[in-house]
Each structure stands twice: as structure tokens, then as C-alpha cells.
Amino acid sequence: MAEIILTMADLETAVPLNAALEEAGFTTVYVSAVDDARAAVRREHPDLVILTGAVHEAPAIDLVGYARDLEIYSLALLEPTDSERAERVERIGATAVMSKTVAMVERVATVRRLVDRRRLQQRIGIIGQSGPIHQVLVKIEQMAPVSTTVLIQGESGTGKELVAKALHDLSPRRGKPFIPVHCAALTETLLESELFGHEKGAFTGAAERRLGRFELADTGTIFLDEIGEIPTSTQVKLLRVLETRSFFRVGGVVPIKVDVRVVAATNRALKESVTLGEFREDLFYRLSVLNIELAPLRERREDVPILVRRFIRELSRQHDRPFRGITTEAMQRLVEARWPGNVRELRNLIESMVVLAPGTEIRASDIPADVLEGAHTLLPVLATHRGQAPTGQEVEFILRSIVDLRLQVEELRRRLEQRPAKVQVIEIPEPSVMPLHEVVPESAELDVLYRPGMTMADVEKATIGAALRESRGNRRQAASRLGIGERTLYRKIKEFGLV
């Protein structure tokens, strides 16, 4: 199988480059016409397609798009005067562009880097060719060989655990344990026992000693998902582990030493949590020595067609349903959708349509209306075929959808908590001879009424009271809406007697 397909549109460029690539150990295939290139791509399924000329013309652009749909990289070599064409080639999906004036050794180095990166991507399962995806791949390459703590940040469904697993699999610790912990799924008591283990008799029900996840991950990697949800008391103990690489089991008196790489992930803005006093500042800086930010799907829409086609291929095989693919109109609508659940939501939607769609091709009419309206939350639909009971695969899909729905609800709750305050102060004339509805605009949210004679303390008290009512007594939410720290809010509540 060829690693590289090289077009012969410009023989003066193609011939010496081909010789240099073969000397560097690559297997190449020469092609001339674009039709030959498409056939070669389909036959060889290479790592890279190199276009040596006419990259601005329609056949070459079509070839780039064809390769992209098959998750194959492309490199366009341009004349030094083709700056505008370079931008166009990048827009239509070329993985990289390079001037023909660049030295041959640099061209070969670029080709090797692209080939290695695609193989890395195929190995770790991260799908996409957008700029944000390539940035993540570069960071994985840089961070994997070391043992430094990494903080992965990104919305739910962006693939944080996939990145964490890649960091482990490409590190010297590969072959050692990779232990994931979903911190948000456990209560404070259970989380501490889960992380650090417990001694026999440490608490009611502790009938025997149990090793924690840190001990199980010794010499390997522990992945702490949703790290922003752990309670303050556990944060203190986690900080100690990061600083001393030792801990005590619950009920234990002997310190346990471990050699563990910690990779943490969160869909929360931890800096904001630090400001609100919900997350320890010292722990935040301990965790975020190295950072990887995962872009939401709506910020890398060019990856949607690649993801859709991959999911259709995988899921049609999994459910034994022969699917031809997806119509152009349906694909365009999926590209334009908001995807609050990101890649996980997209995959679940494709699975639901592969299972439930009446035909063998996804059409625009198969896409739920709420997806197109930007408010999609996938609900499992129990479907039967010709009166038969659902298959095991369908039941498994529904159960997975329920789990993902819970995660989506948690994400929606967090977003609602972070919404800005809408507190307005309305001045009421004294004495007021006008009806209240004429004084207060219909669009106003009547939270605080100002009357002559009120002091600033009165207004402040009324504003805090309104924020507490709006948040239904949740002080953390009220502090966030008011733009003040929780400690300040507590002091004001006590000062004004709002307890």
C-alpha cells in the first residue's frame, strides 16, 4: 500500500520530490489526471495526497474534498505568487500548503510530519482535520512523553477521555494501568473512598480493606473526569497527593506512596470557580501545569462531514443495516446545527437515524426538527419493526442515550447557573399618581423598586434579596448573578438580616 500519492501536474516539481521521498523511505504512486488520482486514492488509501500544480482549478479542489471525506491528508505545493490561492486552498480543506521555493529537505520533513500525524490520529481515534484538531494532536505529541499533570478543558461530548487515553497510550507508561474516575458521579464519602481506598472497619459497611484508584493506577495514569465537581474537603487531599505523591486510606495511619501521572478534565471554567471560592486556587495551578483546550463542534464545522461519514460507516456495520450514506441537503443541515452536546450528540443522532430511518440513506426529513432549531436533546425512541420486539442493539442504544441525556441535563443546569443577572432598579415617583404598569416598562423584569428616601444600603439590600429570590435561595448562583464573591454575599446577608 502506498503511503503517498503524488500528482504530476507540474513535472518539474513532482519528479525531484518523488525521488527525495523514495530516498527518505516513503512508498509513492505517481498519477497524472485527477480521475487517476481519485482511483488511486480509493485503491491505495494513502496517508497523504500531494498536489504539485493547478491546485486552484476545480478538479484539484474536488480531489482535496474527496481525500478529506476519506480522512486522508493533502498537501498543496504553490507558486510563490499564489498567496490568494493559498487561502482558497486552505478554505476548501487542504491539510497544509507550502511554497515550491521551500528547500527539498524541508518539504520532506513536512511530508513526514503529516504522515506521522495522520497515523497518530488513526491510532488514537480522534476524528477531524480542522485547525483545532491539529493543535490538539500537536499538544498530545508534545505532552505524552513526560509525566507532568495535564488539565483538559472542553464542553461535554468533545472527547476529553479520548485525549486522556491518547496521552497515556503514547507515553512511557503505556502498558501500565489507565484508571478513569468520573468525579461527578460519586458522593463526597464515596469519592474519597474510591480515590484513596479504605481500611477494614473505617466506616459502616467497610468489611475489608479496599484499594483506591490511586493505588490501582500506580506506575500508570489516573484520569479524573469532571474534576471541577469534587468537594472542597477532597480537593485538599488531592492537593496533598499531587504535592507529596502519597496519601492515607480512609481510616488508615500509614502513608501510601504512588507513582502516578494525573490527567484531569472539566467542562467548567475552573478559573471562575476559583474566583467564586468553589475550587482551590493552589489545586488549580497544580492541575493546570499543561493545558489542552478542546474546541466545541460548532467551532470546527468543517469536521462535521468527516464525523458523519465515519459514524454512518461504523454504525451501519454495527447494526447490520446497509446504508448508502447521506444526502447533500441533510449533510448541510447537520453542518449548520448548533450541537450543544458536541461529538457525542452527533454520534447518538446518527445512530438513531441509522436504526430508525425508513430508507438506506439519511435525508433531511429524517433529522429531528429540534436539531435544526438548535435546541436538540436526544431522547431515546423505542421502535419496533413489523410488530417485533426491539433487538438487543436497539435496547443498548436506548440505555446509552439515557446516560447521555443525564449528562446533557447536567450541562444545561450548569449553563443556566452561569447566566448573567437581569436585575433592574425602577424608580417609582413619590407620590405615584400613575398606574404601576405605566411606570414600569412591560419588558422590564421587576426585581427592585426604588422609592424616594431609600438609601444605598436599602437598594443594596433589596437587590441582594431579589437575586436570592431569583436563584431560589441558591447563594452560589446569587453571588454569580451579582458579580460578587460568595464570602461577600454571606457577609451582606448577615449584615442585612436576610438569613
Q: Report whether 120 contacts 329 (CB < 8 A).
A: no
C-beta separation of 95 from 67 below 8 A: no
Report which DSSP code applies to 222.
Answer: E
| The three grid cell numbers given for residue 24, joined into one nine-digit string | 527518505
In 16-103, which ranges are E strands? 28-31, 48-51, 73-78, 96-99
- What CA–CA distance (Å, rounded) separates 5 from 26? 10
Rounded Cα distance between 472 and 336, Å, is 36
Question: Which residue type does 370 have?
Answer: D
CATH topology of domain 134-293: Rossmann fold (3.40.50)
CATH topology of domain 298-416: Helicase, Ruva Protein; domain 3 (1.10.8)
- Correct CATH for 424-496 of 3.90.1150.10, 3.10.129.10, 1.10.10.60, 3.20.20.70: 1.10.10.60
One-character DSSP codes across 147-213: ---EEEE--TTS-HHHHHHHHHHTSTTTTS-EEEEEGGGS-HHHHHHHHH-B-TTSSTT--S-B--H
Label residues 168-187 b or e (16+ Cβ within 10 Å = b).
Answer: bbbbebeebbbbbbbbeebe
Q: Is 134-293 in the same CATH topology as 4-124?
A: yes
| pLDDT tens, the chain, 499 aa long | 568 888 877 788 889 999 999 999 999 988 877 778 888 888 888 999 998 887 777 888 888 888 888 889 999 888 877 666 656 666 667 888 888 889 999 999 999 999 998 998 988 889 998 889 999 999 999 999 999 999 999 999 999 999 999 999 999 999 999 999 999 888 887 898 899 988 887 787 777 888 999 999 999 999 999 999 998 889 999 999 999 999 998 888 889 999 999 999 999 888 888 888 889 999 999 999 999 999 999 999 989 999 999 999 999 988 888 888 899 999 999 999 989 899 999 999 999 999 888 878 899 988 888 787 654 444 444 444 444 555 555 555 565 556 556 555 655 555 555 544 444 555 545 444 444 444 444 444 435 555 666 777 778 888 888 888 877 777 877 887 787 877 778 778 878 887 6
Per-domain residue ranges for the chain? 4-124, 134-293, 298-416, 424-496
The model's pTM is: 0.69
CA distance 117 to 294: 18
Answer yes or no: CATH 3.30.1330.40 is held by domain 4-124. Answer: no
